Structure 1
Amino acid sequence: MKLYYSPGACSLSPHIVMEELGLQYTPVLASTKSHKLQDGTDFYSINPLGYVPVLELADGRRLHEGPAIVQYLADQSPEKNLAPANGTWERAKLQEWLTFIGTELHKNFGPLFGPNSDEIKNAARARITGRLQYVENELAAKQYLLGEQFSVADAYLFTVTNWAGLTGVDLSAFANLNKYRERVGARPAVVAAMKAEGLIK
């Protein structure tokens, strides 16, 4: 398998999951600015949408969206318990979290990375802060988003909340979230993925 990634981007989420699962894979750096691989290959030939992550299987099939990728990966090693079984209430709750993170957090960070006005950026920060208050409340009585078991949704939330410091989103009021981030950030697989992407030494 190959994972096309860009350091610190949302592709960190499946990168963490692959490390958690102990999978054999090849990480392939894909610049989200030049849209080129290190060998000069046009990344649009890999993903016509031009963004990461992309998971490429040995037979050449490719999967493009992070929440789909992490669930596919988790289902290859169900004994690792990174995703509840398909068709269960718990799996639906996992998908609820993945959807929430993708639409309510990830997408709202987008304007903070572009050349937008202060008005647009402040509105995005306000939306993110409001959504993070919900996360803060949900984490009051549990270790991870689904309870006591780390899941692929935690890899995604950790990845997205990493962008707060880069974009001026203040997390200081969220004690539960910050403890959670410390807990997730200390996991060996998370450390390994972040080191691989050059995010930590």
Structure 2
Amino acid sequence: MFDKPSDYLEVGLNLSLGEDLKHIFNSTATVKRVLKGTNVLNQGEIPSSLYYVHEGIMRGYYIDSLGNDVTKCFAREREFACSEGLRKPGEASFSVESLEDSICVIIPYSSIAEGVKKGNEMTDIINKYSQKALTDAERHTRALLTKSALDRYIEFKSAYSIIEDRISQAHIASYIGVRASSLSRIKRNLKTE
């Protein structure tokens, strides 16, 4: 394990942080084990922190008007969760839960704002990872609107093959917009082809 929050970020994200950002992260961020099944953010709450996933998987999900749980996204090792607060202020539009016991670096949004005031380094980091989140969201939306269920599953496997066996079939089905029984049929059909 590493000694300081900045160590997790530098090694995991392959960054070399300046002294100002190291100081901010090391004096305000915390490294915490988040137990499987823990919601770190609930839809409607004001997010206060960004989570860097060092180890584990987190899932973003909506609760629709009928009370159904609909998977929006996954964050695995070396990715961020609860990043919506970087893009817009106010209440979270979705919840975030830990799908495994996870180790996370929890960075208060106030620290990120402080880092932005110190120079371009924090802004560049935020822009890079915000662009990735937006690209992933666009890819997912496009797939839901224009591709067959089979093609959405194949795209899921391509994007998340490393963690597919660590995620429940119900969460995968929800992510690709099908029922769990339909996902089972899709998987059976793929095996017979």
TM-score range normalised by the length of the shorter chain: under 0.3
**Bigger share in strand:** 2
TM-score, structure 2 length as denominator?
A: 0.28
TM-score (structure 1 length as normaliser): 0.27
Structure of larger gyration radius: 2
